[in-house]
Structure 1
Amino acid sequence: MLSEQSAATVRATLPAVGAAINEITTRFYDGLFTAHPVLLRDLFNRGNQAAKSQQQALAGSIAAFATYLVDRPDERPDAMLARIAHKHASLGVQPDQYDIVHEHLFAAIVEVLGEAVTPEVAAAWDEVYWLMANALIAIEKRLYEEQGAHEWREWEVVERIEETADVATFRIRPADERPAPAFKAGQYVSVQVELADGAHQIRQYSLSSAPGAGVRQITVKRVAEDGSAPEGEVSNHLHAHVRAGDVLRVSAPFGDLVIEDADAPLLLASAGIGVTPVAAMLGYLAESGHKGAVTVVHADRSPATHALRAGQEAAVAELADASLHLWYEADAPEGAHSGLVDLGEVTVAPGTHAYLCGPLPFMRAVRAQLLAKGLPASAVHYEVFGPDLWLGQD
C-alpha cells in the first residue's frame, strides 16, 4: 500500500510523468545497455528493443501500476503482476537486477524531468518502484520454488513438422534422464539459442501439445521483417538451422493463461500463431474427458496459413459439447466465414470464461464483442506474445 503522503505526490505528478514516460523509458534502456551491454546481448529481446515495443510495454506497466495505487489504495493489480512475473521467471530474472533497473530508471527520470524531481517527488516514485519490484520479486521467488531454481536444460528435437510455409512444430524431449517438468495447458517455455554473433537470445514459445503428451512440442512462426521491426532473430534461426537430432536449451514452463474453472462453459479464441496455447488447452480438455460446453473461435489469413488446424478439429470432434468457428480473410472454404471475426451469431452461455491469444487488435475486438454479449471483464483472459502493450491501456 502506498503511503498517504506519497499517494498525494504521485497523484499530482502522474500526468507529468505519464506525458514523459516514453522518453524516460527510452533513456533508461539507453543507459542500462551502455552500462551493461551483456543484458541486451543475452537477456533482452533485441528485436523488441529495435521496434521500441519493450519501451512502450515498460512505460505502460509503470503507468498502470502507479494509477492503480492511487485509484485503488487498498488493492493490488495481481493479474498484471503475475503476468510480468511469469515472463521474468522464464528468463531467470534475479532480485539483484531490480537494483540495477532502479539505478538507471531513476537516472533517466531525473535526466528527463530535471528540477521537477524534488526530494519529495523522488521519494514518492521510489516508493512506487519498490512496491512493484518487491511484489514481483516475491511472486518470482514462489515461481522458482515451484519449479526449482531457474536452469536451462537440454532438450532433443525428435521431430520437425512443417505446419505451413512459415510455421514449424518442433517436438522435443529431455536430453538427460530426468523427467520433464509438469506444465499446465496454455503455458510457455523460454528457448535460448546462440546466434552467429555470439549473442544468446531468448524467446518464449507456447507448448502446443497437451500436458499428458509423452513428447512436448513448440510451434514457431518465422517472423519476417515488416518495416517497423526487424525479422525475428530466434524464429528465423530455428527455421533455418534446427532439425531432428539437434538440441535446444529450454527453460521450465511458466505462464498464467491457464484454465481456472474447467467446469464453466469455455470460449477459446485465437488468431494466427495465437493458436498454440489454445491447441494445448483443447488437447488437455479432450484427454481429460471434459463434458462442459467449449466454443472454439479461430481467425487466420487463409486456410493455407492456419497452423495446427487438424489437431483443433480432432479435439473438437472428441469433446462432448464443442463447436469450431473459423474466419479467413481469403479463400474461406464452405463452412467457414469470410473476413474478420464476428461473434454476433455465436452463442456465449452465461458463466463462460474466455481465453484469447493473438494480435492485439484481434483480442481487443473479440473482448469488446464478448463484453457486449454480457460477459464480465473478469471472465476474459488473454496472452500476448512479446511485450504486453495492453498494460496501462485498458
Structure 2
Amino acid sequence: MDQRPAISASQAGDGVTLAASGNWTVTEAERLNGEIRQAARLPSGTRRVTIDLSGIDRFDTAGAWLIHRTARNMVNDGLEVVYTGIGPSREILIGEVEKSDRPPAEPRREAPFVTALVNDTGEAVIQSGRDLVQLSSLLGSTVLIMAGFLFRPWRMRLTSITYHLEYMGLRAVPIIALISFLIGGIVEQQGAYQLRYFGAEILSIDLAGILVLRELGVLLTSIMIAGRSGSAITAELGSMKMREEIDALRTLALDPVEVLIVPRLIALVIALPLLTFVANMSALAGAGLTAWIYIDVTPQTFLPYLQNAVALNTFLVGLIKAPFMALVIGMIACLEGMQVKGSAESLGRQTTAAVVKAIFMVIVLDGLFAMFFAAIDY
C-alpha cells in the first residue's frame, strides 16, 4: 500500500472535499506544508469544505497541526469546515492541538515596589508561623521518643548514633580547631593594637579570654556545624524523601523520626559541646601565640594571667549554650530535609534554607542567652 502522504481536492457545487492519505507524520511535515497550502487554494464561490481523514494511515501531532491550521484559516475566511473519517483517536489529537492554539497571554504586570514588599513580608511571616508549628510538632515527637528510651533502652540505635557522632564530631575537629586558632589570634592582635594607645596591651588577654569562652567559641562552632553538618542532614533526608525511602520506612511500620531524626539529634547534641571545648582551647592557643609574638607575653606569663582574668562561669556559659544551639540546628535541618519535594531544585532550595535559618536562629539564640546571663549576673 502506498503510504506516501498526499492531499487532493475535489469540487461538488459550492463545496470542496480535501482528501488526505498516507502517513501524516513529522518526517513528512515539510513537504506536506507546501502541498496543503496548494490544495487549500479554493475556487471562488466555495462555501463549504469537507476534510476527509479516512485515507490517513499514520497521524501524529505535526500532521494534526497542519490539518488544524488549514481548517482555522478557512474558518477565518468565512467558510464552513467539517471533518469526515476522523475517528476517536484522531479527534482527540486534533482537539488537543486546538486547545494549545491560543494567543500568548499578556505579560504579567509587575506590582509596585511597595505592594510587592508588603506581599513578600506577609508571605514570610505566614511561612515563619508554619515553620514554628512544624518545629513544635517535630520537637514534641522527638521528646516523646527520647522519653520512651528510658523504658525501652534497647530501641536506641547506638550504631547510628555512633556513626553520626564520628562524622559530626570527630571529623569536624581539624577545621574547627584551625579556624578557631586563627580567630583567637586575630582577636588578640586587634585587642592589643587598639589597647596600645592606652598603654593597656596586657588587657587584650582578658578581652580574648572572655570573648572566646563566653561568645566566640560556641558561636563560631555552631555556625560552622550549621554549614557543615546541618546542610548534610538536610541533603541526606531530602535525597531519601526524593527516592521515597521515607515512605518505604512507613510501609515497614517504622517511624522516620525515630529511625532517621533522633539519632542525628542525639549525636549533634553530644558533639557540639565537645567541639566547643576544642574551639575554645584552640582559640586561646592562637591568642597566646599572638600575645607572645605581638606584645612579648610568654606562655609562662600568659597562662597565669588568663587564669586570673576568667572565672569558671565564663567557661561554663559557652558550654551551656552549646546543646541548645545543637538542638536548634538539628531540628531546622531535619525539618527542611523532610520538606523536600521530588526535584533537585527543591533539594538545593531546602538545603540553602536550612543553613540560612540555622545560622540566623543560632545568632538569635546567642543574643537571648547573652541577655539572660547578664540579667542573672552570671
Give 1 or 2 for the bigger CA radius of gyration.
2
**TM-score, length of structure 1 as denominator length:** 0.23
**TM-score, length of structure 2 as denominator length:** 0.23
